[in-house]
């Protein structure tokens, strides 16, 4: 196999505590034909000094500094224009790539020319904690076609992208999808190319408490609805505000309104997706059916309608008993018993976290 140049794009902002380990995890890859396009977005801590020191030691590091601060989306698009490689690998300045990540992603794209995007499974970890939690996304394109209807199934800092997706297909990260800009890109790419995940973890993804804040939760959900419009346009679905509320409720498995009427509208939305996929196959029907059955159970659990919702849940054609674990049922019954609000109550955190 040839060894094409890979550009690793790493935006940086105030990451003095982590950036050296992050960059060294790329410099120490088993695949060596690399350039690191590192962009300091006006850091106010010691990040730039660390980057300059690293660049003096390894000529593969191409260091740039924004003036003024451009934020992530503009920095990513600027960086894409600075990349010289056949492939562009993304990397966040606080994560760690495992040694064979780049080699395995290059091999996949070289052997599968009809695919332009590949990522991998990953471990999440927190500061001062040794425990790594494995995060699994669908691997096959036909499964990702279904999964991406509701959420991003591609780990952004573990992704590698064929550069022609940007230069020839004209795709880019868009500010319209702020805080979900990667999900917006994958969703548009889904309709012009193929995507996949390598079925093994190749990245350690650092989780910060700030990432779990509710500061941007509303903006994120509203911009997810804009991404859902991409799928609506391609699948011939409505994109009215009311319809997108139903779509978002199904995607989050959290009904916007606590009523049997709204729950039935969510059910109809999911059954319609299945019917459309049978009439005009778009994704794996088996995967879509199994995925929607889980969303249905969780919608009922989060409905805040009490135990009376159980009869409604079990009578739906979306209910597939074989898909659920004992824990799924435990969560369903306890959340219905206490009418727990989705992820916010003290009881929820004690029992399910």
Question: What three-state secondary structure class fits 350?
Answer: helix
Secondary structure letter of residue 113 according to DSSP: T
Residue 162 sits in the same domain as residue 255: no
**Contact status, residue 285 vs residue 274, Cβ threshold 8 Å:** yes
Same domain assignment for residues 267 and 153: no
Domain count, the chain: 2
pTM: predicted TM-score of the whole model, two decimal places: 0.95
- Give residue 129's pLDDT band: very low, low, confident or very high (50, 70, 90): low
Query: Is residue 84 domain-shared with residue 166, that is, in the same domain?
Result: yes
Q: Are residues 205 and 66 in the same domain?
A: yes
What is the domain range of residue 272?
237-352
Give the CATH number for residue 13. 3.90.550.10
List CB contacts of 313: < 8 A, sequence separation 6 or more.
Answer: 296, 297, 300, 319, 332
Note whether 36 and 183 are same-domain residues: yes
Mean pLDDT of the chain: 94
b (16+ CB within 10 A) / e for 96-113: bbbeebbbbbbebbeeee
75 with 131, same domain: the answer is: yes
Three-state DSSP state, 172: coil
Same domain membership, residue 101 and residue 43: yes
Measured CA distances, 298 to 26, 151, 200 (Å): 39, 15, 27
Shared domain check, 36 and 151 = yes
- Contacts of 226 by beta carbon, 8 Å cutoff, 6+ apart: 176, 177, 184
Domain boundary among 212, 245, 260: 212
Q: What's the mean pLDDT in 191-214?
A: 85
- The separation between the first and the last C-alpha atoms of the chain, rounded to the nearest angstrom, is 46
Mean pLDDT throughout 51-76?
98
Mean pLDDT of 323-352: 81
Is the same domain home to 143 and 25?
Answer: yes
- Boundary-marking domain end, from 164, 195, 212: 212
**Of 195, 212, 229, which closes a domain?**
212
Q: Is 11 helix (H, G, I), strand (E, B) or coil?
A: strand
Over range 34-40, report the average pLDDT: 98
Whether residue 337 is contained in a domain is answered as yes
218 in a structural domain: no
**CA neighbours closer than 13 Å in the CB half-sphere of residue 240:** 3
**Are 243 and 153 in a shared domain?**
no
CA dist., res. 291 & res. 187, Å (int): 18
| Distance of alpha carbon 267 from the chain centroid | 25
Residue 1 lies inside a defined structural domain of this protein: no
Query: Is residue 319 in a domain?
Result: yes
- pLDDT > 70? residue 99: yes
The verdict on residue 226 lying in a domain is no
Residues 71 and 25 occupy one common structural domain: yes
Question: What does the pLDDT look like over 282-296, one tens digit per residue?
Answer: 999 999 999 999 999
Q: What is the DSSP letter of 192?
A: T
Domain assignment of residue 222, yes or no? no
Strands 194-206, 34-40: pairing kind: unpaired
Q: Are residues 81 and 139 in the same domain?
A: yes
Any domain includes 229: no
CB 12 within 8 A of CB 93: yes
User: Average pLDDT, stretch 211-230?
Assistant: 84
Q: Using DSSP, state whether 207 is helix, strand or coil.
A: coil
């Amino acid at each position: 196999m040839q060894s094409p140049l890979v550009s690793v794009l790493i935006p940086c902002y105030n990451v003095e505590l982590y950036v050296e380990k992050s960059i060294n995890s790329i410099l120490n890859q088993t695949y060596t034909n690399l350039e690191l396009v590192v962009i300091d977005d006006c850091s106010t801590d010691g990040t730039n000094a660390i980057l300059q020191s690293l660049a003096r030691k390894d000529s593969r590091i191409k260091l740039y500094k924004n003036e003024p601060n451009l934020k992530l989306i503009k920095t990513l698009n600027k960086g894409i224009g600075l990349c010289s490689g056949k492939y562009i690998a993304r990397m966040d300045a606080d994560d760690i790539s495992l040694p064979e990540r780049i080699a395995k992603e290059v091999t996949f794209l070289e052997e599968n020319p009809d695919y332009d995007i590949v990522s991998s499974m990953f471990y999440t970890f927190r500061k001062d904690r040794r425990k790594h939690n494995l995060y699994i996304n669908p691997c096959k394109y036909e499964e990702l076609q279904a999964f991406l209807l509701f959420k991003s199934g591609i780990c952004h800092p573990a992704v590698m992208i064929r550069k022609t997706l940007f230069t020839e297909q004209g795709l880019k990260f868009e500010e319209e999808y702020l805080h979900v800009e990667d999900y917006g890109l994958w969703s548009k790419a889904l309709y012009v190319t193929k995507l996949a995940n390598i079925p093994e973890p190749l990245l350690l993804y650092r989780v910060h408490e700030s990432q779990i804040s509710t500061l941007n939760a509303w903006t994120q959900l509203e911009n997810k609805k804009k991404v859902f419009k991409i799928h609506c346009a391609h699948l011939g679905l409505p994109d009215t505000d009311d319809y997108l509320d139903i779509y978002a409720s199904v995607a989050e498995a959290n009904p916007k309104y606590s009523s049997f009427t709204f729950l039935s509208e969510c059910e109809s939305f999911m059954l319609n997706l299945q019917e459309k996929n049978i009439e005009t196959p778009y994704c794996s029907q088996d995967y879509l059916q199994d995925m929607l059955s889980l969303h249905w159970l969780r919608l009922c659990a989060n409905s805040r309608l009490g135990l009376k919702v159980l009869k409604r849940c079990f009578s739906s054609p979306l209910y597939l008993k074989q898909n659920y674990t004992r824990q799924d049922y435990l969560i369903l019954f306890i959340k219905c018993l206490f009418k727990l609000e989705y992820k916010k109550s003290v009881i929820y955190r004690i029992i399910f976290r």
